[in-house]
Structure 1
């Protein structure tokens, strides 16, 4: 059970709307990481019809060199960051991605996708899709084996990962073999009539409020009808067949908990291999905490087991 002191802190941080510039300024504080000088990384850009998409590649240690031919056999994660589609960046997620690379011993490729409302749906999703296409079609400079690539995202990034997998199936330009969705936002209704109890139960006192979710959705949507598009809200897809082997991690105190678990249920009912794990007493966003945090340790144990079991032998 979450203790009273932590609960009071969470409640104090749980404001009910999104002031865009303020939210972005708060998110940028996460980029102030004195340890970033010690991360092994490289910045690149993927070119797409005149549009350049920045990416940052994190390596698990200094023993992996770009010039080595063997790097093509090294497994990789294509990571899509959270932030409600309107805040955060690869800079803000640097500590998370560097820690992820080290703890799963894989290359992590993070995408600096276009943010709403300046670039509404589907701009950010298409940035992620074209980076994925470059990697899975082996047009990426590392020439990674596509069988060894895992798609991963948290929160809004989990939404983008799920939508990207659907788009990849529909376009048939490449195939995603496995995906990891961390407390994903897969629905578009956070009103009082939401069918998911966690929206009401956890939508007030645990940082990510129902009001903020509503604002994020409205900022991301280019027009009202976008909210019914399965690439916007993957749980609205009627045909969920032929999806990657999936790991979904949810947080008990998260308003997104029930929709993430329901998405896993629907994927399984459609014949896909799925496992869903709920992290007890965890709020939304816990994955950004330090590796010593109990919830994060538990998550990495689950992620590593999934990757080891599903990795190409």
Structure 2
């Protein structure tokens, strides 16, 4: 599906004037903080603050988004009750360097309301101040406490879903691998939105065509990804660690039921789909969709955008078995396990 020419021209212009992320990440954080503070609350969703204590004593901030059922009648007046089918543990994107729970308030509110689930957003420690493996260790410990019932007493471990976009998708996949390897708990379900799963994003050497096809003109560039990984890693050896790049894991068996969603014009598209294919080949229950005409990072776009609405339709189909409307297949491409 060809992208709109005017939109493509704007993407190209924006992509080519972007500064090196290794030098500009602090300025980007400032801009994201300003945007986060301008977010208006939605009365249909209650937002609470919480923390989770890490092994080193650090308190990881959490933000909890609870969807509300608001009913008003003349007889009984206003009645507000929680309306939740389960809990989504959300790991935000931003290249392990940018992004924050503040920047993702709108996205998490929309997720809570659209999916009728409580969302727990994790403000894990970011690079380069806290390099790999700090972020996955923070996310793992929050997930462990949530599954154990010590973080939120009413959280049902059977109805916890790990969800992350971009670097957050990488962290969700890493947490699932860590959980299997350590044996303390095991997530039942994970959802990875345009995840980073591999370690090589040099167009000259990458295995994946999407790095070359989509690596210059669609906002997130291959150079950005290389820069983010340089800021994230503690040493070159980290590039070969499966918790850093889950597609490198030689054994991807015994993983949660998984939904992978990629974007057509994303440089990470092919590695996300390859990760889904590996999970499928090694015995996991996997569904994978490619959202057409979409670029990396679109979860942060207003929910009126077609590809955002399509993504929530796909997720509700995956989580709750809701049917995909006839004709909607034109808006996405089913890669595998999408019956």
Q: TM-score range by the shorter chain?
A: over 0.9
In structure 2, do the counterparts of structure 1 residues 145 and 73 end up closer, same or farther at CA, with 3 Å as the change threshold? farther
1:135 equivalent among 132, 136, 146? 146
Report the counterpart of residue 66 of structure 1 in structure 2. Answer: none
> Paired residues, what number?
305
Contact 1:182 1:250 (8 Å CA) reproduced: yes
1:205-284 correspondence to structure 2 within 5 Å: 205-284=217-296
CA distance in 2, matches of 1:207, 1:17: 13
What is the CA-CA distance between 1:234 and the residue it aligns to?
A: 0.2
Report the counterpart of residue 60 of structure 2 in structure 1. Answer: 53
What is the CA-CA distance between 1:62 and the residue it aligns to?
A: 5.5
Report the counterpart of residue 194 of structure 2 in structure 1. Answer: 183
Report the counterpart of residue 10 of structure 2 in structure 1. Answer: 9
CA distance in 1, matches of 2:180, 2:29: 33
Post-superposition Cα deviations, 1:6-44, rounded to whole Å, max 9, x if no partner, equal: 111111221262022122223334314442263411001
Report the counterpart of residue 173 of structure 2 in structure 1. Answer: 162
CA distance in 2, matches of 1:171, 1:238: 16
Structure with the larger RCO, 1 or 2 (CA within 8 Å, 6+ apart): 1
SS in 2 for 1:262: helix
Report the counterpart of residue 203 of structure 1 in structure 2. Answer: 215
Contact 2:160 2:189 (8 Å CA) reproduced: yes
Whichever of the two has the greater Rg, that structure is 2
Q: Are 1:78 and 2:89 an aligned pair?
A: yes
Report the counterpart of residue 291 of structure 1 in structure 2. Answer: 303
Q: Are 1:118 and 2:129 an aligned pair?
A: yes
- Greater strand fraction, Structure 1 or Structure 2: 2
SS in 1 for 2:40: helix
CA distance in 2, matches of 1:131, 1:45: 9
SS in 2 for 1:13: helix
Structure 1 range deviating more: 237-246 or 186-195: 186-195
Contact 1:159 1:185 (8 Å CA) reproduced: yes
SS in 1 for 2:177: helix
Post-superposition Cα deviations, 1:91-147, rounded to whole Å, max 9, x if no partner, equal: 000000001000000000000000000000010111111110001111123331100
CA distance in 1, matches of 2:219, 2:83: 40
CA distance in 2, matches of 1:118, 1:51: 14
In structure 2, do the counterparts of structure 1 residues 11 and 206 end up closer, same or farther at CA, with 3 Å as the change threshold? same
Contact 1:72 1:144 (8 Å CA) reproduced: no
SS in 2 for 1:204: coil
SS in 2 for 1:110: strand
Contact 1:40 1:60 (8 Å CA) reproduced: yes
Contact 1:72 1:143 (8 Å CA) reproduced: no
CA distance in 2, matches of 1:21, 1:53: 20
**Aligned alpha-carbon RMSD (Å):** 1.9
Question: Which 5+ residue runs of structure 2 have no aligned equivalent?
Answer: 71-80, 323-339
SS in 2 for 1:281: strand
TM-score normalized by the length of structure 2: 0.86
In structure 2, do the counterparts of structure 1 residues 73 and 225 end up closer, same or farther at CA, with 3 Å as the change threshold? same
Report the counterpart of residue 36 of structure 2 in structure 1. Answer: 31
What is the CA-CA distance between 1:74 and the residue it aligns to?
A: 4.1
Post-superposition Cα deviations, 1:190-236, rounded to whole Å, max 9, x if no partner, equal: 11200000001100000000110000000000111001000000000
